[in-house]
């Protein structure tokens, strides 16, 4: 009797995207630089107010913020090393991704040279070289002239994170078998991450910050996390579940989980969109201003907790 041979199961392609400021690092890299070596915290807060009132766009105030720096690139990283805190579980998680062959990508509204130098500083250049960074660029300066961001696109945020994830999914899909779909994971902390997060199949939101609150408010599926060690355990479980066979044909039990539900929820009512108008709505402000709206909600004075 001939026993039918089945095709050996190939692990499905898992691609991981993560926000940078407030997610991989607990502070904002740009704010550390400009608060100490540029316009200062007080002026930066005035810029935030100008954006929140609709007086100026995100790109306009960001140009001002980065333009307040006139130091040669690289001069401020001693302050970064003393001030920034790397998530305590990130390095182990990233090494796990490398070992498993899961591409790890940073997707950010920040400046790629700043993010790359920061990763080189904290991880070492060899380890950091395996992380793809999708962010805005910087017109190089040798010092004495204002820093000038080079934006990725013409949107108000300067970088459509959702489009970046869409392109990555399409590329991964072209490399998969016809009956397979890549699994996209996104990790973030603020509502500004929603443009990318709504393209993901699995979403991790840092506990207690604005992205988690928004997900709760709108019924968006997500997994909370306090550090990347917890994400590692979850991704390990997802990967293991994904390798289980059903019916002996080698297909994973978990086939593109959450995607349909997430995309149904990601309607115009549920997810803020970028719209060109003089006074942006509250949701549009949250989409464009990462730091302010990544902060936890403050309890009302009359709230009583037990």
CA distances from 19 to 147, 175, 220, 291 (A): 23, 25, 18, 12
Of the candidates 25, 29, 64, the one whose C-alpha atom is nearest the C-alpha of residue 44 is 64
- H-helix or E-strand spanning residue 259: helix 259-265
Catalytic (active site) residue 75 = no
> Per-residue pLDDT for the chain (306 aa), expressed as one digit of tens each?
333 333 344 467 899 999 999 999 999 999 999 999 999 999 999 998 998 898 998 889 999 999 999 999 989 999 999 999 999 999 999 999 999 999 999 999 899 999 999 999 999 999 999 999 999 999 977 778 999 999 999 888 888 889 999 998 888 888 877 777 889 999 999 877 888 888 899 999 999 998 999 899 988 899 999 999 999 999 999 988 877 643 334 444 343 344 444 444 443 444 433 323 333 444 444 444 444 444 444 444 443 433
pLDDT of residue 197: 86
pLDDT of residue 135: 94
pLDDT of residue 119: 98
For the chain, domain boundaries? 14-292
- HSE of 156, CA atoms in CB hemisphere, 13 A: 22
Of the candidates 155, 163, 76, 154, the one whose C-alpha atom is nearest the C-alpha of residue 121 is 76
CATH of domain 14-292: 3.40.50.1000
Which residues have C-beta within 8 Å of that of residue 210, sequence separation ≥ 6? 189, 190, 191, 286, 293, 294, 295, 296, 297
pTM greater than the 0.85 cutoff: no
pLDDT of residue 74: 86
Catalytic (active site) residue 63 = no
Give the sign of the dihedral formed by CA 240, CA 98, CA 193, CA 182.
negative
pLDDT of residue 86: 98
pLDDT of residue 303: 38
């Amino acid at each position: 009797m001939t026993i039918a041979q089945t095709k050996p199961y190939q692990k499905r392609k898992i691609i991981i995207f993560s926000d940078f400021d407030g997610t991989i690092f607990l502070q904002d890299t740009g704010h550390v630089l400009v608060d100490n070596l540029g316009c200062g915290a007080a002026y930066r807060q005035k810029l935030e107010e100008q954006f929140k009132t609709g007086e100026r766009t995100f790109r306009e105030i960001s140009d001002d913020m980065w333009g307040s720096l006139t130091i040669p690139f690289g001069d401020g990283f001693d302050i970064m090393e003393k001030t920034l805190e790397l998530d305590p579980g990130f390095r182990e998680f990233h090494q796990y991704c490398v070992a498993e062959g899961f591409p790890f990508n940073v997707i950010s509204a920040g400046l790629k040279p700043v993010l790359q130098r920061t990763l080189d500083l904290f991880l070492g250049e060899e380890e950091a070289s395996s992380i793809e960074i999708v962010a805005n660029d910087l017109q190089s300066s040798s010092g004495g002239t204002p820093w000038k961001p080079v934006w990725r696109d013409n949107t108000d945020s300067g970088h459509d994170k959702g489009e970046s994830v869409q392109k990555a999914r399409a590329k991964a899909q072209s490399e998969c078998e016809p009956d397979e779909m890549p699994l996209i994971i996104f990790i973030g902390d603020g509502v500004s991450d929603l443009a990318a997060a709504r393209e993901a199949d699995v979403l991790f939101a840092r506990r207690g910050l604005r992205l988690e609150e928004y997900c709760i408010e709108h019924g968006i599926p997500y997994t909370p996390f306090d550090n990347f060690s917890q994400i590692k355990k979850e991704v390990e479980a997802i990967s293991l579940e994904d390798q289980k066979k059903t019916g002996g044909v080698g297909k994973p039990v978990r086939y593109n989980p959450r995607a349909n539900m997430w995309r149904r929820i990601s309607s115009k009512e549920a997810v803020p969109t970028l719209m060109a108008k003089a006074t942006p709505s509250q949701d549009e402000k949250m989409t464009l201003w990462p730091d302010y709206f990544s902060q936890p909600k403050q309890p009302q004075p009359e709230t009583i907790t037990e």
